Structure 1
Amino acid sequence: MKSYLTLFLSVILFTSCISDDEVTCTPQTDEDIIEYIESNDLVTTKTASGLYYSVNNEGTGETPTENSIVDLKYKTYFLDGTNTSETESITLNLSTLIPGLSEGIQLFKEGGSGTLIIPSELAFGESGNATGSIPCGTVLVFEIEVLAVYDNYEEQNEAAILQYIEDNNLTATKTESGLYYVVNNEGTGTQPTSSSNVTVAYKGTFLNGTIFDESSVSGVAFNLNGVIEGWTEGIPYFKEGGEGILLVPYTLGYGENGYNTIPGYTPLAFDIKLISVNN
């Protein structure tokens, strides 16, 4: 999965990105947008807010609202054609985005695709963004495809985990809490409780396969009542010597705020081996 997450967030997230410092610049105008449309032979519609959009495919699924969670594929450009960022899939909360992007995504149904041309007043205005990667007064062009629409992050996490299970041909069990676990080897030794001290070798990945943490083969010792809920619940499904996978929704992982390099609302996969139960 190709994803330039940090750059993308600096481009589109609205909260805490716009500087209060006064900036002098000459914003790009509606005439500049019209020139872009004509030179690229686009057929567009202008909304009451000033957003321009072009529909390649309206889509046939659910229509997002201003509070929806969406999986989005996109490319972003300036009017001069400079490609500033792109991703094959990213999960976004429409309520956190710049106004033009939030409005524009709602013009498509699930499966829909097209182009959004966002004037600066619906993007980062005359301040630009805080990192300086979006200059003041800049019009942004987004080529988007709405891959999926969800009512909330719980629904999105569930769909992502089920897709991971299917893509990797896994046989998984779902618990009442929403945890999924895969037993490759149940083990034959002592079975821990939720308060045991254990030694576990593990590899933690995002569902796209990117590793965010990994122990040595000898593992790490810790108390199960002092780790994320997905581990407190999941490790006791194995005995000493057991191996498998824990698929942890954000509600049993690092929650809404995330931790270090793990963003909030992120489902996680852990390959684990229970080496020993220490007490």
Structure 2
Amino acid sequence: MKRKLMCLTLVAIGLASCNGGYKKGDNGLLYNIYTDKSGPKIKEGDFVLANLVIKNDADSVLLSTYDQGRPSPMILPKPQFKGDIFDGVKLLTEGDSASIKLSADTIFKRQPKPPGFKGKFIIYDVKIIKVIPKGTMTDAVFQSTITKYMTDLTTAEKTLEPVKIKNYIADKKLNVTKTDSGLYYVINKPGAGPLTQNGDTVVVNYTGSLLNGKVFDTSVKEEAAKAKLPGLEQRPYAPMRVAVGAKRVIPGMDQSFLLVNKGTKYTIIVPSSLAYGATGGGPIPGYAATRFDLEVIDIIHPKGGTAAPATAAKK
């Protein structure tokens, strides 16, 4: 009897090793819960706020909320098929962290495969930040509860923004100058000639990033490749031409042009009030300070009093 039990134990260990510590769920779903908190499991219709990294089994990251600087909110929907990612999330509770592994073939039977995708699995690394159970709440009360939670979260982000900027400047040892508007700047390499004026057109290279270091936009192809930005081959990379004072870029960048001359290389730390505001945009969260590294390639003075149009829209 003992020998049989030992054999069964060895078989179980062997199976666990083959799956890399993952347990098996419905339809081939594999999951590994690293932090397992007590509490009710997430149900369909519950509100979930989670950080998420999606990657293939070669560790090539397809999406990361950490890079975006904000966790992702959702109302947990019904599974699209048995054993999908939403079934995986239902194994978790608030505070849990886990990896959920799905067969790429199963997923891409139902949706297009991303260009250049390689691998046999899609892996979701999930950290559940907050759960608001729907329970017996009416839809109106449920939505009101979610709205209050998200509003409180946004208020906290607004309060923390100046602290994050201060800590970032200290950590990076930046010798900044602060303008009356709240813009921070550092001249890394002085230029020559007169300062830029409103109505001039500046030709600049730029790289924009969040304070966590994630690059979200750049005019420099090498920087885009380094940051693994999408659409690398589709976009023509070139210095941006923008009319100063025409409000065609974020206010913080527009203001910075008046502080520099041709040839200047400089860095600006832009509070959200001079950038993307309370709502953010694209990969930029609300109340997020941003960093731009810029180089003024040329300054073109208007002819006949008319400034040239910008070739890049407001980011």
The two structures have a TM-score, normalised by structure 2, of 0.45
Q: How does 1:238-253 map to 2 (within 5 A)?
A: 238-253=260-275
In the alignment, the residues of structure 2 paired with residue 84 and residue 201 of structure 1 have an alpha-carbon distance, to the nearest angstrom, of: 36
Distance 1:125 1:194 in 2: 58
- The 5-angstrom pairing of residues 56-71 of structure 1 reads none
The 2-side partners of 1:162 and 1:126 are apart by: 44
Deviation at 1:259, TM superposition (A): 2.2
CA contact (8 A) 2:154 2:286 kept: no
Question: What is the deviation of 1:240?
Answer: 0.6
Inter-partner Cα distance in structure 1 for 2:179 and 2:169: 15
Following TM superposition, by how much is the alpha carbon of 1:152 offset from its aligned partner in structure 2, in angstroms? 5.1
- Give distance in 2, aligned partners of 1:176 and 1:124: 47
Aligned counterpart, 2:65:
5
**Counterpart residue identity of residue 222, structure 1:** V
Q: Match of 2:295?
A: 273
1:86 paired with 2:127, answer: yes
Q: Could you say what secondary structure the match of 1:209 adopts?
A: coil
Within 2, Cα distance between the matches of 1:261 and 1:229? Answer: 19
Does 1:230 find its partner at 2:252?
Answer: yes
2:192 is matched with which residue?
A: 188
Following superposition, the deviation at residue 124 of structure 1 comes to 4.9
Shift of 1:151: 6.0
Work out whether residues 173 and 182 of structure 1, in 8 Å CA contact, stay in contact via their aligned partners in 2: yes
- Quote how far apart the aligned CAs of 1:198 are: 0.6
Question: Per the alignment, do residues 124 and 199 of structure 1 end up closer, same or farther by CA in structure 2, a change over 3 Å counting?
Answer: farther
Q: Distance in 1 between matches of 2:176 and 2:95?
A: 35
* Residues 190-205 of structure 1 mapped to structure 2, 5 A cutoff: 190-205=194-209
Measured after TM superposition, the shift of residue 191 of structure 1 is 1.4
Partner of 2:10: none
Amino acid at match of 1:5: T
Aligned pairs, number:
170
Q: 1:18: Cα distance to partner?
A: 5.9
Q: Which string of whole-angstrom CA distances, capped at 9 and with x for unpartnered residues, describes residues 134-163 of structure 1?
A: xxxxxxxxxxxxxxx996544422211111
Secondary structure of the residue aligned to 1:237 is coil
One-letter code aligned to 2:242: F
Paired residues for 1:95-174 under 5 Å: 101=130, 122-125=132-135, 153-174=157-178
Do the aligned residues in 2 keep the contact of 1:150 with 1:156 (CA within 8 Å)? no
Q: TM-score by structure 1 length?
A: 0.51
- Structure 1: where are the runs of 5+ without partners? 21-35, 37-51, 53-73, 88-96, 102-117, 128-148
Q: Deviations over 1:108-135 (max 9, x none)?
A: xxxxxxxxxx6xxx335599xxxxxxxx
Residue matched to 1:261: 283
Q: How does 1:4-83 map to 2 (within 5 A)?
A: 4-5=64-65, 9-10=71-72, 13=73, 17=75, 76-77=96-97
How far residue 229 of structure 1 moved from its aligned partner, in angstroms, is: 0.3
Aligned residues of 2:204 and 2:297 also touching (Cα < 8 A) = yes
Tell me if structure 2 keeps the 8 A contact 1:173–1:181.
Answer: yes
The correspondence for 1:215, drawn from 204, 219, 222, is 219
Q: Secondary structure at the match of 1:269?
A: strand
Secondary structure of the 2:253 match is helix
Q: Secondary structure at the match of 1:199?
A: strand
Unaligned runs of 5+ in 2: 1-51, 54-63, 79-91, 99-123, 138-152, 222-237, 302-315
Cα 1:153/1:175, change in 2 over 3 Å = farther
Q: Percent identity?
A: 28
**1:158 and 1:194, CA in 2 relative to 1: closer, same or farther beyond 3 A?**
farther
**CA drift at 1:208:** 0.9
Indicate the SS of the match to 2:126.
strand
Q: In the alignment, which residue of structure 2 is the partner of 1:137?
A: none
Q: Which amino acid aligns with 2:293?
A: D
Larger Rg: 2
AA in 1 matched with 2:133: A
Moved more, 218-227 or 233-242: 218-227
> What root-mean-square deviation, in Å, do the aligned CA atoms of Structure 1 and Structure 2 show?
4.0
